[in-house]
Amino acid sequence: MLSEWKKGSYTPKQDKLQKIADYFDVTVDYLINGKEPFEKLPEGAIPVDKSMFLKIPILGSVRCGEPMFAESNIEDYEYTCIERLRGRGDFFFLRSKGDSMINAGISEGDLLLIRAQSDVNSSDIAIININGDEETLKRVIKKDKAYYFATRKSCI
């Protein structure tokens, strides 16, 4: 059947072509006409190797300021370059709410890439879990085996 297709005496049905295209991760147009899949990109666009990206979930939002109830529901996904992910771990995104971290360059609605970890260094900006069910985004100060949050005034 493949040899008949190559000779031009047979053309597979559309559903079979789509299955073949999906298997090889190309377009049906590429199978039929031999055109590279990236030829349909807008002028000036650069083809990207998908293997360089990781699909990471957006789990909701975190308040910059007063803690809020911590709830994690996958709202969407965002692709992120693997090189951006320093180290190993579980990554997710949250949207920032509030403006208390504006002096650290974090504005209302920013998409924050978060790595889950059990501890932070002093002066790190981190999402802190309070009382088991509330979270906030703050700069953490460690002193005398205790954790403190830097207030807006001390970030200036």
Residues classed as catalytic:
100, 138
Q: Cα–Cα distance between 95 and 62 in angstroms, integer?
A: 6
Instruction: Supply angle C-alpha 110, 60, 146, rounded to 5.
Output: 80
Which of 153, 68, 137 shows the shortest CA–CA distance to 103?
153
3-state DSSP call for residue 144?
coil
Q: Which DSSP symbol is given to 47? A: -
Q: Which DSSP symbol is given to 103? A: G
